[in-house]
Amino acid sequence: MKDVQTLLEVIDLEQIEENIFRGESHSIGSKRVFGGQVLSQALDAAIRTVPEERLAHSMHGYFILPGDVTKPIVFNVDRIRDGGSFTTRRVVAIQNGRAIFNMSASFQLVQPGLDHQIQIPDVTPPEELSNDQEILEACIDELPEIYQRILGQRPIEFRPVDPMGFLKPSEGEPFRHVWLKAKGRLPDSGSVHRRILAYASDYNLLTTALGPHPVSMDQMQMASLDHAMWFHRDFRVDEWLLYSLDSPSASNARGFTRGNLFNRQGILVASVVQEGLIRRRK
């Protein structure tokens, strides 16, 4: 999946019955469904059952089984509650009669309230950085297959402030900063931008947990286990956002990671927390 238009088509589900939707998958170099895709599609299913004036402010999902990229995914929505200010939905993604993912999402009317935020980190701007594809292509002949498969397959452009050592990983700190932006102009709908950011947010988290360890991705078995996301303020994913990431802990074959997303004006627009499987391949 190389362009953002294809991504928009993938996350735009087909309604097959009330509260039941179906989606297709596109590979990003793996036979398994990318976690960000099913996350974004589940959010789309929930959005379709909520009034337009209510926007998603939080979502909490669990990846239960690997998805098969060659088969459609069915999404069942449970309309748990429609309150005065908040609306709650539960979504279950199903393949071959089994749940592969479930998510709870909450929606809210726009309301006035207290306002504060942490400051954006002072890092190199995206215009002065290479994107991850350019960095990989510079050493393509030496790259393990796991990296070669993802070349040219991303509808989101990522420009790491502190690139990973793909060939010779070294022991470092569990912190990363990555600029990201959709490869193309998006519609003005706030719901569209939330879905695209949910998709993009699944990148770069678990690799941050590898920071303190001199290991490379091809040596590790890695998979998202759960993913939580909060949308704080309006934003556009077709304009540069800074993903400020850290990994406070790794233990028991799991890596715990967090991320804050800021726009170019330094406004904190979203936050993410994820835990994932990270263990050495046998």
CA count, 13 A, side-chain hemisphere, 214: 3
Tokens of 204: 């770069």
| CA torsion, ordered 73, 202, 31, 160, to nearest 10 deg | 150
Catalytic residue selected from 41, 58, 106, 274: 274
Catalytic residue selected from 224, 244, 247, 271: 224
Three-class SS state of 136: helix
- What element of type H or E holds 91? strand 86-95
Based on the residue annotation, tell me whether 224 is a catalytic residue of this protein. Answer: yes
Catalytic residue selected from 44, 132, 202, 246: 202
Based on the residue annotation, tell me whether 265 is a catalytic residue of this protein. Answer: no
What is the phi/psi pair of residue 148, to 5°?
Answer: -65, -30
Based on the residue annotation, tell me whether 202 is a catalytic residue of this protein. Answer: yes
Residue closest to 93 by CA, chosen among 74, 67, 66? 74
What residues act catalytically?
A: 202, 224, 274
